[in-house]
Amino acid sequence: MRLIRNRRTRAMATLLAVVVAASTIGGGSAQAVSGVSPVPAGSYPFTAKIQNDLRACSAVLVEPTWVLTTASCLAEPGQQLVAGPPARRTTVTVGRTDLRTTAGHVLAVTAVIPHPTRNVALAHLEKAADGVPPIAIGGAAAQGETLLAAGFGRTATEWVPDELHAGAFTVTGVTADTLTVDGSASAASLCRGDAGGPLLRTGAGEPQLVALHDRSWQGGCLAETDTRRTATEVRVDGLAPWIAASTSTNYVALSPGASLLDTRTGTGAPAGPRGADSTTDFPALGAGGVPSTGVSAVLVDVTAVSPTANTFLTVFPQGTTRPALSSSLNASTGEIISTTQVVRPGADGRLSVHNRAGSVHIVVEVHGYFTTGAGGGLVAVPHTRVVDTRTGTGTTVGKVPTNGSRTFTFTGGVVPSGATSVFLDVAVVGSTGTGFLRAHPEGGADDTSVLDYVSGVTSQGIAVKLSSAGRATVVNKGPAVDLVISVQGYVTADLTVGADLRPTSAVHLVDTGANGGQPLPARGELFVKLTDPLGVSPEAMGGAILAVTVAGPTASGYLTVESGVGPFPADQNGPIVTSQSVANFTAGQVARTTMVMVKVDRAGQNRATGSVRILNVSGGTVRVIVTLHGWFNPPPGSSN
């Protein structure tokens, strides 16, 4: 039977022991390699214990935010492991070979990735296991070679030992996917709870990972009657490329962008306006310059074109349940308006978009994607105004004319030189009609739009690729307008500085008007906890990508969205504004949605750690709806 030990009674464990087949050795309460002494203090800190309320196994750290274990340790009983968030709350203890100490880390698992053909899975940790060096993948084992097996499974005398044990095993057979090993020479066995633990090459130099524990006869393990000390290991020596391809999620900007869906022309789906309560599926992977594999999410501009009624669009992974409480874009009758969203493709590489009411044409253009290949990491910064054509900040004074363009430098301040893209809030101010903006690196060209605007003020979060000099050009295809631009974050090619995105399905965080709730009052502030719905610790999150919707404002104004740690000063008139505007709104508008990248501080010990603070900067009330679409860790070495 397998080395999985469920969290059941000792009687159940004894009953399972009579099965006359090699068993799996994972599961339940974590235990240890039998017949040997605990490892010396500080040895093999990369070895981990992984557990949930059903079972516990062993694991091994292969990247700062990833451990490797057997897929059967994480699967639901009788089911195959499915990529995505774990079915049960799961934690990993790593860097603590003596579980009675406080060394190392205890971290939540936020996602799992099973190998397509082997009993192997990666588990994504909520943050990096700082101070614990990951193990390197070694070369193939040879028959007759002696290797070291380690794990937290049962021993000959203890059901639930507190220390990591290790013992020597001889390789007796090699196949394409597995090894057979024998611990008889050292009186060592692999027991329940050892599954997923490492088989190591420990000669000269640092230890190397060769295989993971899978099945064992469990001879010599407590309450087992079989005497055989042989076991089967699943090979990982050839999995380094798969691990590398699966353990980073970096941003790649597309310039030019491309249309994935345009119902006016039939791009991506049959032509024709979409009616009320309709859903349209269209390709995301393998289209518009997006690779067909290795992509975890895409960044798209979603546009509603002249709806016949007030409506909202929801973009979501095809084949999944549509998020009932979140919208990607809100549009009023007759207007052309857009927003940016980060969204995960469905299992078949496609997206779906749902129209709530009336008839509307829909355009979805892709401007970048998050990939397990080459790309750059994310860094969120305090929202900082860098351009204002009304005052000459970062540019010359004066509106951008119809068909005119303006080039801006975005590096040199909160964005360092070498940044490849920037996440911005762009406010179009003083428009006398409808139009749209294009954006591209200086010297380039792009016919797709990044922002569609209406009369008055329109603001939207966008992502723009930069030239090597840190510059980008914005083209105005509408009436003369002023532009007010704030930086929210950037992409760096240096992965030791930036962090990888953890894209999520839409997580509805708050709706101030739902269930009899009240809109946010004038100068009212709202603290939204981002970490709790994900089951991660507050210090794990360094930034997040949100969709923020404002609805039914009774006065014109804007929101600010910033780290919730504070402190936040106030005077006799209420809270003082401490961040730049996002989600500008006009009295009486129906609803409008914008993408916001926000820095999430982990410093301080107050109720707002792991949260953001939203302030209503207006003289009236406004309903606020917040949805989480992705998050990322603090930059390595960051104190916040």
CATH number for the domain spanning 106: value is 2.40.10.120
Residue 356 within a domain: yes
Contact indicator for 413, 407 with CB cutoff of 8 Å: no
Q: Are residues 66 and 165 in the same domain?
A: yes
Residues 530 and 554 in one domain: yes
Q: 91: domain range? A: 1-247
Pair 300, 197 in one domain: no
Based on the fold, state whether residues 115 and 218 are members of the same structural domain. yes
Euclidean distance between the first and final Cα of the chain, in Å? 47
The 10s digit of each residue's pLDDT in 105-142 is 999 998 888 999 999 999 999 888 888 999 999 999 99
**CATH code of residue 314:** 2.60.120
CB-CB contact of 62 with 89 (8 Å): no
**Same domain as 505, residue 621:** yes
258 and 317 fall within a common domain = yes
425 CB contacts (<8 Å, ≥6 apart)? 383, 459, 460, 461, 485, 486, 488, 580, 581, 582, 594, 596
What tokens appear for 410 in the block?
Answer: 């975005």
Q: For residue 614, which of 639, 587, 581, 588 has the smallest C-alpha distance? A: 581
Examine the domain organization and report whether 1 and 123 are in the same domain: yes
**Looking at 349, 371, 393, which one is the last position of a domain?**
371
pLDDT of residue 607: 56
Q: Which of 304, 337, 371 is the last residue of a domain?
A: 371
CA distance 102 to 106: 9
Claim to verify: residue 432 and residue 469 sit in the same structural domain: yes
The answer to whether residues 233 and 324 belong to one domain is no
Say if residue 488 is in the same domain as residue 520. Answer: no
> Can you tell me the distance from the alpha carbon of 159 to that of 31, in angstroms, rounded to the nearest whole number?
6
Q: How far apart are CA 14 and CA 475, in angstroms?
A: 73
Count of alpha carbons within 13 Å of 458, Cβ hemisphere only?
24
What is the distance, to the nearest Å, from the Cα of residue 232 to the centroid of all Cα atoms in its chain? 34
Contacts of 205 (CB under 8 A, 6+ apart): none
Q: How many domains does the chain have?
A: 4
Is there a domain that residue 637 lies in? Answer: no
The alpha carbon of 283 is separated from its chain's Cα centroid by a whole number of angstroms, namely 21
Q: What is the pLDDT of residue 12?
A: 23
Q: What is the pLDDT of residue 37?
A: 64
**Cβ 475 vs Cβ 483: under 8 Å:** no
Residue spans of the chain under pLDDT 50: 1, 4-24, 26-32, 35, 605
Please check whether residue 155 lies inside any domain of the structure.
yes
- Would 639 be classed as within a structural domain? no
In a domain, 513, yes or no: yes
How far is residue 32 from each of residues 160, 202, 235, 469, measured CA to CA in Å? 8, 19, 20, 56
Give the residue from 247, 263, 281 where a domain finishes: 247
Say yes or no: 474 and 517 in one domain.
no
pLDDT value at position 408?
Answer: 98
pLDDT given for residue 7 in this prediction: 41
pLDDT at 175: 96
Is 393 within a domain?
Answer: yes
236 shares a domain with 195: yes
CA distances from 289 to 79, 252, 295, 301 (A): 36, 11, 12, 15
Rounded CA Rg of the chain: 27
Return the pLDDT at 296: 84
- Digit-coded pLDDT (tens) for 392-410: 999 999 999 999 999 999 9
What is the per-residue pLDDT for 155? Answer: 84
pLDDT for position 128: 81
Give the integer Cα–Cα distance in Å for 440 and 407. 9
